[in-house]
Amino acid sequence: MEEHSQPTEQPSVAVATRRLGFEPPRGVSRIEWRSGLAHFAIKTEEGGRALASVFRPLVEVGVSVDMVKLLPPGIRFALSEGEIDVTSETLRKLGLEFTVTPECAVLTVYAPDMRSLPGIMATVVGALDHDGVRVLSTDDSYDSIFCIIDRNDGPRACQALAKEFGLDLKSGEGPGVEW
């Protein structure tokens, strides 16, 4: 029997969790945050047609983007802080007007089966707003909510959400975690 080695991944760090039994409870079960990101906002009148004209040159210089949003009047996305200079240079060459917010973090809220639970996003954003955490962008998947925030707000954001959802707050260790 042939053995295959699994690639080693950097551990993700949970900073707030709920004890799970045999049948996991519905709702928020874990909160994580990771720093080292930047947020870009590009002004463009072209709408969706601008996506290819912006992203193709970024791919050519090796930039990977996340959390892409097409909003009037432009495009927003997140990327690694290490890619700020090459991205800015590429966008300037394209003649695009943009702003960049460095020193960001992504706050991830895990909520299994949240599709059938109303109000999770409203509760997350409300708790963050109540504690003075500015949210630059949001995204979601079938079981998670992602918020781009200032990296200095990471601990405060985790504390606010842990309190809101009744989670046990823990200190994390690992790459990109300043907790």
Q: Is 85 exposed, middle or buried (0-12, 13-18, 19+ CB in 10 A)?
A: exposed
Ordered by start, the domain boundaries in the chain are 16-36+103-169, 38-102
pLDDT single digits (tens) 121-133:
999 999 999 999 9
Instruction: Report the 10 Å Cβ neighbour count for 87.
Output: 22
**Of 136, 145, 129, 153, whose CA–CA distance to 41 is shortest?**
136
CATH number 3.40.30.10 is the correct assignment for the domain at 38-102: no
Per-residue pLDDT reduced to its tens digit, 26-47: 678 889 999 999 999 998 876 6
Q: How confident is the model over 136-165, as pLDDT tens digits?
A: 999 988 889 999 999 999 999 999 998 898
Q: Average model confidence (pLDDT) for the chain?
A: 82
Identify the sign of the CA torsion 57, 58, 62, 67: negative
pLDDT at 23 over 60: no
Judged against a pLDDT cut of 70, whether residue 179 lies above it is answered with no
> What does CATH list as the number for 16-36+103-169?
3.30.70.260
pTM of the entire structure?
Answer: 0.77
CA-nearest of 172, 176, 167, 125 to 19 is 167
